[in-house]
Structure 1
Amino acid sequence: MDTLENMKNAINYIEDNLEAEIDYVKVAQIALCSQYHFQRMFAFLIGVPLSEYIRRRRLTLAAFDLQNSNEKIINLALKYGYNSPDSFSRAFMAMHEVTPSKAREKGISLKAYPRVTFSLSIKGVVEMNYRIEQKNSFTVVGVKQRFSHINGLGESIGKMWSETPQETISQIAGLGNGLVGVYSGMYEDNTTDYYIAAITESDSPETLCKLEIPSLTWAIFEIIGPMPTAMAEIWGRIFSEWFPTSGYEHAEAPEVEWYSNGDLSSSDYKSEIWIPVIKK
């Protein structure tokens, strides 16, 4: 059974259990991969984390129920996984911008997030240059900020780079051979710590943060082209084209973007994406 069919089966389980508790471990088992790999893959392919997709789908169905039934709001709150009418109302307001009771009125505009579907597209004509490499543990030192995976992660990181003082960038770069961007991983609240850092064996200055990365196997993707366009394209292709056919899945560890010295806007600028992987 291929990756596409596995993802469809996982979505079927999620959709069949929107009115019940959804077991993330079982979702991953149905998709025949680790829980971490499924959630990372889902977030990249769909554009929102799995938990946010489930929240939006439940509130979409709740809106349908409000408009098409006389079911009490407290019952709908419990039906879609909320412990109280207040918590349900806050979530409903955040998505639909009206209260649940107001949603019952005729002519009220509501939002609907349809069920996600997966379909086959013919890709792979353009080559991807990568290598599998075992690396010993290493340390990155730099500055970090925590960002949401839901609200413009790429834009937030771009803003972090532009607003970090050049003096700080130079200090970090001087600790090692060039700069890296590091995603620490996804936390339960759909956030990630992002580091502008250097790989170094030097002591960490008190003003900077340190992250230890263990010995891992990495899939390292070579990129040639201007930033950020060239790197963004490869990020998308890693999850939509490479992982489904590679025989690897994402290890639960940070991801690294490596930047060479040079003109970032140049057509021959070199960079890399390092993804920690394990054999399926």
Structure 2
Amino acid sequence: MHGVNPTTARQESVALKAYPRLSFLISIKGVEAMNYRIETKESFQVFGIERVFQTSGDGDGPTTPGGLWQQCHANGEVERLATNAGELPVYLSKDLYKVHAVCSYRKTETDTFPYMLCSFKSDSSKTEGYSEITIPSHTWAIFPSELFTWDQFNDSIESLYHRFYSEWLPTAGYEQVDGMEFEVYGGRDGLNYVELWFAVRKTS
């Protein structure tokens, strides 16, 4: 084992080999429960501030959805959109905020995707000057976060995305429809939450 005979091995300054105790590491996924629900919703309309982004994130101005949020918070557009949203439609929970986001709801050029800071359109909405889209009827896999403070937002939403794509989608018997998804924001008890809505269809 050491490359020398036992007598030599007992001498000082002889290079010897040591092997750590053999052990096995077993990784088990899915230990934590994933809360989700499947809902089929009729078509509905949203309106808001739309941008088309490169999937690589290259280009001028805010080059990511996060950059668009930052810009629109800074220039007051998020607050203005919330004011123009009007009342929430009756089919939505009343603890939702007025501004949300929707992604990949229409075809664009290769290596790009559309993203919109949006509000759900109701009879009291003021939509002039905004982009408007109709979301067709879909089945949605809806994943709610735990309640969080805003400094925990990135960790909360990244965890939902990671668990949807790595744990739920590969085994659930569904596939995503054209990558379409919603980020729906709300709050209760002085804290915030996000729901990720993924448009899905059964694979069999």
* TM-score normalised according to structure 1 size: 0.50
In 1, distance between residues paired with 2:201 and 2:155? Answer: 28
User: Unaligned regions of 5+ residues in structure 1, if any?
Assistant: 1-119
User: Unaligned regions of 5+ residues in structure 2, if any?
Assistant: 1-25, 89-97
In 2, distance between residues paired with 1:166 and 1:151? Answer: 22
By relative contact order (CA 8 Å, sep 6+), the higher-ranking structure is 2
Q: How much is the aligned-residue C-alpha RMSD, in angstroms?
A: 2.7
Q: Structure 1, residues 154-212: CA drift from partner, whole Å, max 9, x if none? A: 97111111111553212322315422111025644211111111111245533211111
Amino acid at match of 1:146: V
Q: Which has the higher helix share?
A: 1
Query: Secondary structure, in 3 states, of the residue corresponding to 2:168?
Result: helix
Shift of 1:257: 0.4
Are residues 1:179 and 2:179 paired? no
1:40 is matched with none
For residues 56-135 of structure 1, the aligned pairs below 5 Å read 122-135=28-41
Amino acid at match of 2:158: A
For residues 237-276 of structure 1, the aligned pairs below 5 Å read 237-252=163-178, 254-261=180-187, 268-276=191-199
2:132 is matched with 210
Q: Which has the higher strand share?
A: 2
In 2, distance between residues paired with 1:210 and 1:255? Answer: 16
In 1, distance between residues paired with 2:79 and 2:131? Answer: 15
Asked if 2 retains the 8 angstrom alpha-carbon contact of 1:184 and 1:194, the reply is yes
Between structure 1 and structure 2, the one with the greater Rg is: 2
Asked if 1 retains the 8 angstrom alpha-carbon contact of 2:53 and 2:63, the reply is no
Shift of 1:271: 1.0
Are residues 1:157 and 2:157 paired? no
In 2, distance between residues paired with 1:198 and 1:121? Answer: 42
Q: Structure 1, residues 18-65: CA drift from partner, whole Å, max 9, x if none? A: xxxxxxxxxxxxxxxxxxxxxxxxxxxxxxxxxxxxxxxxxxxxxxxx
In 2, distance between residues paired with 1:159 and 1:188? Answer: 21
Query: Secondary structure, in 3 states, of the residue corresponding to 1:150?
Result: coil
Q: What is the count of residue pairs matched by the alignment?
A: 157
Aligned in 2, Cα 1:236/1:139: closer, same or farther, shift over 3 Å?
same
In 1, distance between residues paired with 2:120 and 2:69? Answer: 17
Asked if 2 retains the 8 angstrom alpha-carbon contact of 1:144 and 1:193, the reply is yes
- The partner residue of 1:146 within 35, 41, 52 is 52
Aligned-pair identity in percent equals 32
Q: Structure 1, residues 129-157: CA drift from partner, whole Å, max 9, x if none? A: 100001111111110111111237x9711
